[in-house]
Amino acid sequence: MSDSAYSFVELQEICRTDRYVQYELFFGPNFPGMHGNFGYILDVAGSTIVGVRPNPGLLHRGFEKLMEQKSWIQNISLIPRICVPDPDPNEAAYCQAIEKIMGLEVPPRGRYLRTIVLEMSRLSSYLMGMGALGAMMGLYTGMYRMINDRDLLMDLFEWLTGARIYHIYMLPGGVRRDLPEGWSQRLSEVLDTLEGNLPEWDRLVFENPVVVKRLTGIGPVTDAEAVSYGLTGPNLRAAGVRADIRIDDPYAAYPELEVEIPITGGGDALARAVQIRLEYEATIRLLRRVLRAIPGGAFRTPIGNPLKFTVPAGDAYARVESSKGEFGYHVVSDGGLKPYRVSVRGPSLPAGLALCHKHLPGMLIDDVAIWMASLAVCPPDFDR
């Protein structure tokens, strides 16, 4: 017997006479398609959404306040946690902001090593993103197989940095250590494996009629809209705007490398899926070029005792093209042993908290998870 307050007959009567048209649905971490600890409170009529209120806060860890209480170098072990699948852009943007204020130069080999780690991080994030796209519509095979590919990159990260997920590899002035013996060779082999698997991903996900039909028309964004909402990265390029921070505001070794930026256009979820698929392939080619061009020499400019490391008073904004778009750090220093203020610009905020008001109303509940996956909404970067 259930301990419900209503008997079965009473429940039947309630269902028969219920005149509510609109219900509130908490689309939160308990939903299998939700990315991370975040939620939308949806007003639904039947299966159609009529209103949306984003509900962040479940994931708030107070990074910006914590950063003001830790030394400049300690913070490098804290910030990769702001984005789990793509952590390295955080380290790079933070270090670049410090280097701008100090006028610190990174030696050429250090810049190339940063580029390698950033591009590997992009690959591993795209693998997760492409897998998640399929998983959002029940195609888990892609997710499992792509996580397997991602693990090959994690092994390389572990070999180079000592850590699989949060690498804590960059320092103001360069990187923490040089490439181990045999590492580049292994990376080339892994790149061959990743490229060899691509036709299979195409058959499984990108040429799959179910996936194509399901993604077509979800969350359309025009180029003007993408710019005014502040969308960046693959989302902006999938809307047809030619913009990439690696070319427009170059950092690391990108000015010396030929960066291909595929432009899909079209602006819906399918265009965004194809965009990351093309960028994945371009990233593999870019990594091969980096491995061919990497110079010798020092990989770090000495910064002295890290416990006594200070940054002169001033402020700077530095941005990095992550797999989801612009990761920006505005760092303010008062000359002390700790940052005075660090403000983080996560790439998911424009879509996750602003564009949702425009896109979700009118959409079916089933499409919300796909919409989030296609725009790469990663809540930890706005709910920090």
Q: Which of residues 46-75 bind other proteins (CB under 8 A)?
A: 54-57, 60, 62, 64-65, 69
The reply to whether 105 sits near other proteins by the rule CB under 8 A is no
Supply the minimum distance, in Å, between the C-beta of residue 371 and other proteins. Answer: 17
Separation between Cα atoms, residue 211 and residue 161, nearest integer Å: 37
Contacts of the segment 239-247: beta carbons below 8 A, 24+ positions apart: 239/265, 239/266, 239/267, 239/271, 240/264, 240/265, 240/266, 240/267, 244/321, 245/319, 245/320, 245/321, 245/326, 246/321
CA atoms within 13 A on the CB side of 83: 32
CA atoms within 13 A on the CB side of 19: 0
Supply the minimum distance, in Å, between the C-beta of residue 322 and other proteins. Answer: 13
Stretch that binds other proteins, among 141-149, 212-220, 281-289, 335-343 (CB under 8 A): 335-343
Query: 360, 40 in Cβ contact below 8 A?
Result: yes
The reply to whether 263 sits near other proteins by the rule CB under 8 A is no
Supply the minimum distance, in Å, between the C-beta of residue 349 and other proteins. Answer: 6
The reply to whether 100 sits near other proteins by the rule CB under 8 A is yes
The reply to whether 256 sits near other proteins by the rule CB under 8 A is no
* Residue whose token pair is 């930890």: 380
Q: Which of 102, 241, 273, 370 binds other proteins (CB under 8 A)?
A: 241
Judged by beta carbon, residue 195 or residue 315, the one nearer other proteins is 315
Contacts with 245 (C-beta within 8 Å, 6 or more apart), sequence order: 232, 251, 319, 320, 321, 326
173 sits in the region (left: phi over 0; alpha: psi -120 to 50; else beta) called: left
**CA angle, 147 as apex, 199 and 131 as ends, to 5°?**
60
The site map against other proteins for 294-333 (x = CB under 8 A) is ---------------------xxx-x------x-x-x-x-
The reply to whether 141 sits near other proteins by the rule CB under 8 A is no
The dihedrals phi and psi of 103, each to the nearest 5 degrees, come to 70, 30
Judged by beta carbon, residue 192 or residue 248, the one nearer other proteins is 248
Burial of 287 (0-12, 13-18, 19+ CB in 10 A): buried
Judged by beta carbon, residue 149 or residue 383, the one nearer other proteins is 383
Supply the minimum distance, in Å, between the C-beta of residue 128 and other proteins. Answer: 25
Q: Could you tell me how many residues of this chain bind other proteins (CB under 8 A)?
A: 39
Q: What is the largest CA-CA distance in the chain?
A: 81
Judged by beta carbon, residue 210 or residue 313, the one nearer other proteins is 313
The reply to whether 237 sits near other proteins by the rule CB under 8 A is no
The dihedrals phi and psi of 335, each to the nearest 5 degrees, come to 90, 0
Supply the minimum distance, in Å, between the C-beta of residue 248 and other proteins. Answer: 5
- What is the distance, to the nearest Å, from the Cα of residue 243 to the centroid of all Cα atoms in its chain? 17
The reply to whether 377 sits near other proteins by the rule CB under 8 A is no
The reply to whether 238 sits near other proteins by the rule CB under 8 A is no
The reply to whether 381 sits near other proteins by the rule CB under 8 A is no
Q: Which of 358, 362, 364, 366 binds other proteins (CB under 8 A)?
A: 358
Q: Which of 155, 192, 343, 364 binds other proteins (CB under 8 A)?
A: 343
Task: Map residue 312 onto helix, strand or coil.
Answer: coil
Residues of the shown chain interacting with other proteins in the complex, contacts defined by CB under 8 A: 54-57, 60, 62, 64-65, 69, 100, 227-230, 232, 241, 243, 248-249, 315-317, 319, 326, 328, 330, 332, 340-341, 343, 345, 349-350, 353-355, 357-358, 383
